[in-house]
Amino acid sequence: PWPSIPLIANIDASQMQYTITNPSIVGCYAITAVDDATPANESLLSEVFCIDGCPLIELPNVFSPNGNPPNNYFRPVRDANGNPRFKDIEKFTLQVFNRWGSLVFETSDPDQFVEYGWEGKDQSTGQDVADGVYFYVFTYQPKSVVVQTEKVLNGTVTLFR
């Protein structure tokens, strides 16, 4: 009693929806279909397909930790909706060095980095660092369904008070 035309042709696009609640879709998936019969019929699972992450890290090249928002912290750039441009990063370490090569800031905490970042203080003394150009090394591992090698992003950021 099945119709001779494919059923998929009669499905309205509004009936096919998937809501992503996690900002990352990295993982392996399979698809099944369920009809509205009583009792419901479910198809076999499709072949499993896997989606790797597409790391996104956008850091500013200047910040001014002087108490006047919005550029008080060296942290990921925000989009027009205030969302950080930082995703699909499994683990990372950010190190910031002064012009003499001394480490002034280091973090591996994604929540701390995305929310507060570096406020322009020497982590070992708690004192404000001088205005100037600082070198950073951002070592990270992309989210993936297979083990990925570490990647390194180097750059500079200028601090103005």
SS (H, E, C) 6-61: CHHHHCCHHHCCCCCCCCCCCEEECCCCECCCCCCCECCCCCCEEECCCCEECCCC
CA distance linking residue 54 with residue 89, whole number of Å = 9
Sign of CA dihedral 87, 156, 73, 63: negative
Residues of the chain scoring pLDDT < 50? 1-7
Is the pTM for the entire model greater than 0.85? no
Place of tokens 């990295």: 26
Q: pLDDT at position 118, please?
A: 97
28-40 tens-digit pLDDT: 888 888 888 888 8
Q: In this prediction, what percent of the chain has a pLDDT beyond 70? A: 86
Q: pLDDT at position 12, please?
A: 58
Place of tokens 């992503």: 20
